[in-house]
Structure 1
Amino acid sequence: MSFGFTGTAFDYVALKGPNYGVARVSVDGVVRGTADLYSSAFTYQQKVFSVAGLGDTTHTALIEWTGSKNASATATRINLDALDIIGTPVAVTDAGAPLTTCDASDAWRATNATVTLSATDDTGVKATYYRLDTGAVTTYTAPFAVSAEGTTTIAFWSVDYSGNAEATSTATVRIDKHAPTTTDNAPLVWQTLSPVDVTLVGADALSGPAGTYFSLDGAFPQLYTLPVSVSGEGTHTIAYWSTDAAGNVETSKTATVRIDTAAPVTTDDLPRVPWLREPVSVTLTTSETVSGLAALYYSADGAEATTYAAPVAFSGDGTHTIAYRAVDRAGNAEATTTLTFHLDSTAPVTTDDAPQTWQTTAPVPVTLSPVDPTSGPAATHYMVDGGDIQLYTLPVSVSGEGTHTIA
């Protein structure tokens, strides 16, 4: 209640009892203090609050219910028995409806909001009311919590003891308790081209993403603005996360990018000679240090290609071929290497036309005829009667009486 007077002081007189609470006393809009109306037993006509030392002019005083109480009290009611005024009572003119303010912020937040409503009125605020969205109207008694995610609209107003009702005002509370979610389009398989661009997309259904950050291969984090360009042979790691407008921070995720732009290199141990005289086994060795070897294929003598597992054996006189190539796990394929070689494990056969009977004339020419159906004769050597070995180029001329031997 409010009252007016011209004077310098007044006493607030009330009934005290076990079910009474605390009243607030204001003069000319300034709170002077509170009066505790609690008593373990009912006592009447008690001076519960005094105001003195006012200027000798007209004042407006207000006694309000606070909704608070002594810890031992069973209720919060207040009352007024009398006012002892040092001065003259005057009529109070009601200037209009109360004015209620709300401390809610409409900025996005990640936690529940506690909202306080404060109302003032020259004749006293009888009650303040509020409603959350389309919910029920609630009498305001103390700060209240808003916990629902999303946007909550608070409607609020007050009425005074003169019956003036304030026009409804609104405030907005925005809550987002969940972190954003970021996705990437990093390829799951080895890549054979460099660089590889990875796009990060942050999403948040409520407050919206505020920023996306990433770190490439452990480097200092950066704000994501363009696709992350990843280059260089080997395995790379992108750590990334997003924040939203409410301040929620996503738990870091990782994406892996694997790059291998070079094909494997395979070598063989086949001797580089025109002809081989013995069966041979060819060993293939592949070098692949990035993605690893997927398979090594070979074809022997034009047969269907097969996977290399052990040295490839060749036998049989004649011409042979081996073709091989390797493929790595990234899909890089080595150019096919084809080798042709010749194998001749059979010695040539040489014949002669030496006469089988005694000859009566000298010298006697003897022709040597080598035959080799595979590699062909390379040279023919001979010696006469155990003499020096000579290269055969012309028929051997044998002279002198007696028996002679050509080897």
Structure 2
Amino acid sequence: MSRRFIAALGAAVAVLGLVALPASASRAAEPPPVTAAAAAQTLTWTADENQNAYTSAPTTAVAGETTIIFENSEATGNEVGMSHTLTFDTSTPGYNHDVSLNITANPFDANNGRHEATVTLAPGKYRYFCTVPGHSTMAGEFTVEGGGGDTTAPTVTATITGTQDTNGNYVDQATINLAATDNTGGSGVASTEYKLDSGAWTPYTAPVAVSAVGAHTVAYRATDVAGNVSTEGSKTFTVVEGGGGEDTTPPTVDATVTGNQDGDGNFVESATVTVTATDNEGGSGVATTEYKLDDAAWAPYTQPVLVSVLGAHTVAYRATDEAGNASTEGSKQFTVVADSSDTTAPTVDAEVSGTQDDEGNYVDVATVTVSAQDAESGVASVEYKVDDGAWTAYSTPVAVNTPGMHMVGYRATDVAGNVSEEGMAHFTVVTQDTTAPEVTGQVVGQQDENGAYIGSAMVTVSATDNEGGSGVASVEYKLDDAEWAPYTEAVQVSAAGEHTVLFRATDGAGNVSTEGSETFTVVAGEVDETPPSVSAVVSGTQNSSWQFLDAANIGISALDTGSGVGSVEYKLDGGAWTEYSEPVVVNTAGTHNFAYRATDLAGNTSAELTGSFTIVESGPAPGPDVCPDSDVRDTVIIGDIDSQVANIDTGNGCTINDVIDEDGQWNTHNQFVRHVKAVTRELVQNGVITGALRDRIVTAAVNSTVGTPTSRV
């Protein structure tokens, strides 16, 4: 499995947990329109597999037409298919809102994750961020300077006015006055802002009256037309009730618990705790409000607290005023229970996308996008698994790039705990082969002292296609002035004289190798016409019946006193002829037949010799026939699909059709397919069938209707 797919799975869990990714973030958005003329400047943002920050981003710019480039691609370090957006903020006070930009980029979108847009920037500050859930810390700002060369920030001052007591406190009310100038830079003041206590930045247009009793801090700043921002200033002051006086009365504090309740008063799925505190009598004002949920530590209360953990809870609360008086601690008890009214599982679906070949296979990569809906309690989690892998939380589209047939299962769970029926997507990934095969040639035979071949020469050609992966489709050769001809076996050349043989190979994807050549000379003379002698010995541990226990080794030797041994070959149990280089180990129980032969350098081949032997297991004797009424059809047939795989005995009296059990009680088609995958995997592990035969059986199971509602009628 590739690094990209593994990392995709890890990033999906870490970033979004159980939250399904919105459709807008799961596929590439159409890129914003691009103007024909080149912009005066280019600003570039990049992103990778990190959901906490952009990889790179500008901090300054100049006003005017600008090309925006946003790249989130494999080239910038994103190999897991994670989506990001580059979005300009058009609502937060204190920033320019004149540019609407929202680019979604994904390494596997139509632009390979690189998008451009042309905008016009005005002097000031712009804020940008990523809208994908879980990526909220991906944000920043940059400053745009005017074209006039103003680089000096304005100055801003504040004065607090009002009636003060002997301690300097403002009685009943204080008024904030701000003044800003931009004499040095010359572009002029564009805006003045203030922030009172923990409030938001607010445009300053007129003096601000503050009558809330207590200590206050006002912050202020100004921005000129060129976008230069002043250093932030601040002032602190205190407002007291008329007449002043020491505050010795603690504030009052209370809490309310709200939410959807059942007949027993329990809160269904969640409860919201709201704490309120006032300090009317003392006059110094509330300084802090705190709460504590169950056994947790005290925490500052800033907004209503949502409690969704099922069970009984106790919330405690308290407040302290500016004079240091602490309220009596209050508490409330409540219980959160699950929603028992929702008994309907969510619906879940998946879509497979990618480039397909003429046979419907996905070239290089297939992307699986899962979506789920639940109209009642809502979707709590979506999960997927690839082939025999573990269930994994789904958050972003899953890229599968391992060549071969794949099955991606998917399911969803709602807030009430209802789990959908497992769905499954079937597809095959193939590799786009662009690498030509490699081909080599060799000339062998009996040679004289000048290197000429006596009587005849034997030309052999071999080809491999390891890098491309599509396999060698054909090998050709051309002797002297003859036409190209298919190469199927060694070519014997006996005509006297100089010869040149050309050879080439083509793979399954149509890639043709570089043409190779060999030049040689054949002369008349006494020719070796005697084939070599060849013998074979089977060795191993045998029982009293001369059967080999667990395994046997086939050793072959050949001798040629003329031109010398050129090659030794063998074939086992009716298989293809294979070049012999070392003893052949056979460890499959049963009777085996083998043949062997040798060819000398003059091209003489010995007579084909044969042998046979039997291997038995050294463990306990086999048990009784487990399947006395076996399905003995010649091939493995599932429904009406013939896999063309021989329906052999699996070793205990049961055939492959028996263990597949297509007539069993299968609730769903997916359940049957999983069963077939499991039993055929065991057959491969036990040496009953090969991995290639297993793939054919699983494909037949996938294409069958076993387990579908139609098959159960």
User: Structure 1-normalised TM-score?
Assistant: 0.32
- As a proportion of its length, which structure holds more strand? 1
- As a proportion of its length, which structure holds more helix? 2
- Structure exhibiting the larger radius of gyration computed from Cα positions: 1
Higher relative contact order (CA 8 A, sep 6+): 1
User: Structure 2-normalised TM-score?
Assistant: 0.20
